[in-house]
Amino acid sequence: MLSIFLLIALGTAFAADTGASNSTSSLTYAPTIVPCPKHEKWIRPPHGLSNGESEWLRNHKRVAHDALCGYLDRLCLENFDVSKYTNALKSSDYAHVPTIGYAISGGGTASAYTGTGGLRAFDSRIPGANEQRVGGLLQVMTYMSGLSGGAWPTVGLATYDFLDADEVLNYWQPELNRENATVNSEYATTTESMIGDLAAKFEAGFNITAADFFGRLWGYDFVAPPQAGLNQTWSGIKQMPAFQNFTMPMPIVEMCQLIDGNFEYYGLEVPYPNKTFVSIASFRSKLSLTKQLS
Per-residue pLDDT of the chain in tens (294 residues, 90 and over written 9)? 556 555 555 554 333 343 343 434 468 899 888 888 787 776 777 677 878 889 999 999 999 999 999 999 999 999 999 999 999 999 999 999 999 999 999 888 899 999 999 999 999 999 999 999 999 999 999 999 998 899 999 999 999 999 998 999 888 988 888 888 889 988 899 999 999 999 999 999 999 988 888 889 888 988 988 888 887 888 889 889 999 999 999 999 887 777 777 777 766 777 777 677 777 876 543 333 444 443
Nearest to 183 by CA among 143, 220, 237: 220
pLDDT at 143: 95
Nearest to 253 by CA among 153, 160, 145, 156: 145
pTM of structure: 0.81
pLDDT at 69: 96
pLDDT at 23: 39
Q: What is 2-11+43-292's CATH topology?
A: Cytosolic phospholipase A2 catalytic domain (3.40.1090)
**Distance of alpha carbon 173 from alpha carbon 207, whole angstroms:** 31
List 270's β-bridge partners, or say none: 263
pLDDT at 8: 54
**Distance of alpha carbon 236 from alpha carbon 239, whole angstroms:** 6
